[in-house]
Homo-oligomer: A and B are copies of this chain.
Amino acid sequence: VPKKPAKPTAPGRRERRRVETREKLYRTAMDLFAAHGFFQTTTEEITEAADVGQGTFFNYFPTKSHVLILLSERQIEKVRAALEQAETGSVPIHDLIRKLVHNLVMELGRSQPLARSLLAAFVIQDDVREVMSATLARGREYLTRICQIGQERREVRRDHKATDLAMTFQRSVLGTLLIWAMQSKGDLHVWLEKALADFWTVAGVKSR
């Protein structure tokens, strides 16, 4: 039975289409950044590959950089969700942090070419860098609270400042991502498990 089409003017449908188009532009942009690099990709190439009108891009993203700003919002949302989960207290901090790490690289770690392209934009595209730097700072605040909750629950060592442990976490994950991105092979998730093991050597309560 063919689905009955929704009324074109229904606000629900319009909003749904808007979300779909934004997502299509976002995904297409990421694919092109992976294939040709962030700097080499034009907004025209994105709209052409996404099969929408040239001007459509700017209804969703004021500039090409805003694609990466949306990425940064999605990243921070993952950390915020992990904090919320820590606050409910049902999941061990250890499990929650492991899930978070693998979740955080889901987009960035799709392929080495994509990771390279995005890391380069994070450092030398100034508008992206400023947003990413603020995102990392906000991420550290959330991670600090996660570590504090871990300390209260005796799952995280209490003789280290939670803010330092948050930095240990970001340093490990970003260092791993950077070294992995420079290689032509290697399984990022395996590398991250080693980084996680080191993180817990620093942050864990169990004596060795």
Chain A interface residues toward B at CB < 8 A: 37, 39, 115-117, 119-120, 122-124, 129, 132-133, 136, 157, 159, 164, 167-168, 170-176, 178-179, 181-184, 194-195, 198, 201-202, 207-208
User: Which residues in B have their C-beta under 8 angstroms from that of A170?
Assistant: 175, 179
**What's the nearest-Cβ distance from chain B to residue A160, in Å?**
9
B132, B172, B174, B182: which contacts A123 (Cβ < 8 A)?
B182
Contact, CB under 8 Å: B181 / A176: no
Contact, CB under 8 Å: B176 / A171: yes
Contact, CB under 8 Å: B123 / A181: yes
Subset of 19 A-B contacts with CB under 8 Å: A116-B123, A119-B123, A120-B120, A122-B182, A132-B182, A136-B179, A136-B182, A159-B208, A167-B179, A168-B198, A171-B171, A171-B176, A171-B179, A175-B175, A175-B176, A175-B178, A198-B198, A202-B202, A207-B207
